Amino acid sequence: MATDTPLRPADSASFGDDPGAARPVPRAGGPAVRLRGLIGIDEGLLAWVPEERTRYTWYGALVVNTALVGALSMTLALSSFRSDLPLAAVIAVAVVWFWVVLAMDSWLVSSTHGTAVKKWSLLLRFVLSVLLGLFIAEPILFQIFDKEIRQEIAVGNEQQTADYRGMLVSCNPTDGASTADRPACLGYQLKVAGSPAELAAQIKSNTARTKALQTQVDAINKTLDDKMSAEQRLCGKANWIWRNGVRDVTITCDRARKDSSEYRRTSKVDTYEKELSALVAKSRTLTAKKDTAADAYQPLLQRAIDAKTRARAADLDTDGILTRAHGLRKVAESDGFALFITVVLHLLLISLDAMPVLAKLMSGATMYDRMLGARFTASSGTYTEELQVQQECARMEHEVQRHGVAQDTTDRMRRLEHDFQRAQAERAAAERAELEERMDRILRARKA
């Protein structure tokens, strides 16, 4: 009867009478193994539960799909926001992002294997998956609603440009009146030369300066006329005197002439009169300009407003990520179907990225997880026993070393004692021989 019993390998077990149910089954090969390897599956352990192979193969496929969608999303983002980048740079960045998403998702899934994973840990991994899905969804949404977003941005920029032009027109009246007292016009005032208001202010200032200078010149001339009158009176023929046989002016006349000449020089009346003449001429010129300023100022102001408006329109962003995000928000707010597509796409990509973690939360621990947990427990126990064996071996080795040291110490102490006793005996024999030799010498000396 014993010879009729079939023999099995020591590492194999059979479930029932089906020969195909032998465990472990031969290891598989091909792309499925690589997909499972991405999520940290041990093929040796999975060979004991081959029924789980399909589940974990699709887990790996989900991770690869998420990384591919992330690479596509990054490509679309770079094509939309940085159209100046060369194709090689876009491909390089997309490949790097593919690897980053693949590594992150692989870690998220591989860290959920086993029975020791806590629910809160799975929730944290789910939150990370949600964030990754949100980041991947935005560039795809930008591409789907590209036409609507561009139209919304164009309308918004046109409105901003129109508002800016309206503020320029409001804060820069055609008569050139100042709007500095209006806080809303801060930063909207234009400096255009030749406005009627500016010319009126210049005429007013020039007139005031002319009047002040005229008053000053009149006072100087009055004083100078008084000095000239005094000079003429003191230097008249009635005041001449005889000097060296001829008629001459007096010293008082010389002083009056010197005083009038010195006053004319120090008072700068000639300079003031020239300046007054220039101010009068400038007043006539400004008055003439003011008469024609109303017709000439308006075209200059209009050109300045047009230039500022064009510069403002050129400065407005049309392709920035924040601008497109605001455009997408406005599109979603203005159209119910666009909002529905936005929400659905976000949920789809979030679900795609979080599907492995969601599957773990919904399905609970699999047979593979339980076997992995059992192996963890067995490995932990084996490692603990190994540590205990190593500790016991180390202790026994220390005991042997301690005993050897004790035996060696005893043996050395015995040899030292033997050497000491032998040295004492040799010294005693040497002393006796020396005493006997001395006695012999003494006896021989007495006999002699």
Per-residue pLDDT of the chain (448 residues; tens, 9 = 90+): 333 434 444 444 444 444 445 667 877 778 888 888 888 888 888 888 888 888 888 888 888 888 888 888 888 777 776 777 788 888 998 899 899 888 888 887 787 777 665 666 667 767 777 777 777 777 777 777 778 878 888 888 888 888 888 888 888 777 666 676 778 787 777 777 666 666 667 777 888 888 888 888 888 888 877 777 776 777 766 666 656 655 555 667 777 777 778 877 777 777 878 887 888 887 777 776 666 655 666 777 788 888 888 888 888 877 766 777 787 788 877 878 878 888 887 788 777 777 767 776 676 677 888 888 888 888 888 889 999 999 999 999 999 999 999 999 999 999 999 999 999 999 999 889 888 888 888 888 888 7
Taking the alpha carbons at both ends of the chain, their separation in whole angstroms is 117
Residue among 50, 85, 187 nearest 41 (CA): 50
Long-range residue pairs from 28-34, CB within 8 A, at least 24 positions apart, any chain:
28/53, 32/57, 32/60, 34/60
Residue 11's pLDDT is what?
Answer: 46
137: phi then psi, degrees, rounded to nearest 5: -70, -35
Residue 388's pLDDT is what?
Answer: 92
Cβ–Cβ < 8 Å for 231, 257: yes
Q: Which residues contact 59 (CB under 8 A, 6 or more apart)?
A: 35, 36, 39, 109, 356, 359
Structure tokens belonging to residue 156: 């918004």
Residue 200's pLDDT is what?
Answer: 67
Cβ–Cβ < 8 Å for 35, 64: yes
CA–CA dist 393, 311 (Å, integer): 85
CA–CA dist 154, 142 (Å, integer): 15
Residue 380 CA to its chain's centroid (Å): 44
Helix (H, G, I), strand (E, B) or coil at 14: strand
Residue type, 66: T
Residue 395's pLDDT is what?
Answer: 92
CA–CA dist 145, 215 (Å, integer): 77
Residue type, 13: A
CA–CA dist 165, 38 (Å, integer): 59
Helix (H, G, I), strand (E, B) or coil at 305: helix
CA–CA dist 344, 336 (Å, integer): 12
Express each pLDDT in 312-365 by its tens digit.
Answer: 888 887 776 677 778 778 887 787 887 888 888 778 877 777 776 777 667 667
Residue 96's pLDDT is what?
Answer: 92
Structure tokens belonging to residue 136: 């991947």
366: phi then psi, degrees, rounded to nearest 5: -90, 175
What pTM did the predictor assign?
A: 0.51
Length of the chain as a residue count = 448
Pairing of β 246-248 and β 22-23: unpaired
Residue 22's pLDDT is what?
Answer: 65
